[in-house]
Structure 1
Amino acid sequence: MNDGAKWSDLTTRLGSAIAMIVVGVVGIWSGGHVFHVLIALICAAMVWELVSMISPPDGRNRAVMLGALTGAALLLAVYIPVGFALPLLLAPALVGFGMLATNRTVYMAFCVMILLSGFGMMQVRDDMGVGWMLWLVVVVVITDVVGYFAGRAFGGPKFWPAVSPKKTWSGTAAGWVGAAAVGLLFSINTGVGLQLVGISIAVSMASQMGDIAESGLKRKMGIKDSSNLIPGHGGLMDRFDGMLGASVFLLIIGQSVGFPPAVG
């Protein structure tokens, strides 16, 4: 592949990325209801994409229905006590399991992941503030961006050629380095311990696992992108797959590692 072909989609990707960054920053900075609605809409669209990918064409109405149910459940869950929110976060997965004719376990696993991820992001923003939400987003974005450019620039052995032929080990490792740098910068500027560097690398790895899981699903379904909602990037699942893995990981391990790390 020549250099022009390698970078031919860069302008489109950058334009869409800038638009997503603006919307994301406004949502994160605003917090509260604005952020909750934004995350609920994103998760609803991802479930719509998920059902559209794994169901035959006659499942389009079900895709809309399950997407709407996901958004509504997530939006309600953040405003009620956690004990009552938990059944709501699992209900769309079980409803879809009963409605769909094929790939039901795949739907259930990804749907739960999407709902927990959305709930986790809301918890980070509501309980820890804008700074830690930005840290999470920056770790995931840097992992993706540094991995993309390093992989294109350096090439080398493929990470999983049968499923994701463009991903390389050089890009994967570069993502870890980028995440470590983010963790170090946040550690220095917030005064928390250097454990944040290790946590940032682990979150980076979790984001890559989310990316790999979505790539495997697309390969299984024989499609390139989850949808065409975002020019140059495919669908929302294509862009937020890393955030799915990262936020679910942080939600699960946050209590055990005492996140955010103590100051000093």
Structure 2
Amino acid sequence: MSVRAGLWLPLFDELADPTTLVRLAVEAEEAGWDGFFVWDHVAWRAPIRAVADPWVVLSAAAAVTSRLVLGPMVTPLARRRAVKVARETATLDRLCGGRLVLGVGLGSDRFGGEYSRTGEPVDDRTRAEVLDESLAVLRAAWTGEPVHHDGRHLHVDGIAFHPTPAHGSVPVWVAGFPGTKRPMARAAAHDGFFPVNLTSADQLAEAVAGVSALRQAADRPYDVVVSLDRGLDRAPYIAAGATWLLSDFDPANLTVDMVRGVLREGPVRA
């Protein structure tokens, strides 16, 4: 599998303007990028003030592009309604002709108080349970068959979700810390792994080996997604198993000009 390259953008301040994001998506496709991924947050710590909605941005980007893989990286399902995400993902995947990827994870309260300030559960165990139940609901919903789910946190009684995604399902990439058992097992059960806070290519290789050992459908295409600083050597990470390389941006000093400069340089795949 050839290595693909994507932009990974925080939708903050200058990048909270949806018209700007739409132009960047078009420019990214013209410049040869493979993917256009966006953060999913409702708040962030100061001095960030403006935050855009990822689903609106991705829908607009889907309407003006034809090749880019699109997706939220990552959506913390514990603070979203699984039935609404089921509708959103299928609709967006239809709009973009099957180019959607759903990045998911636990999320964190420490950057903007998105859980504590909105009355959502803060503890990791509860959020992990909601994440797993949400993924079960989504997988069932995408089949088009009536969903019957009676869990500890979620309940769906016989709702069928139509239309279904363009190709019958949506690839799911699971974010998690490398070496932690539960996220790695969750990642192994889906379509990709996005190890966060990587410190080295060796750490990635170890994580890839761990997830590979847990996978039951080893013959199915699987992605390993890595975010890297622009100047970092990609080769060791590719050798360690990365299939997607995302250009990382620091939200603290992010500008449209900075993103456009990286975008116009073109993707680095090696």
Q: TM-score range by the shorter chain?
A: under 0.3
Q: Which has the higher helix share?
A: 1
Q: TM-score, normalised by structure 2?
A: 0.27
Q: TM-score, normalised by structure 1?
A: 0.27
Q: Which has the higher strand share?
A: 2
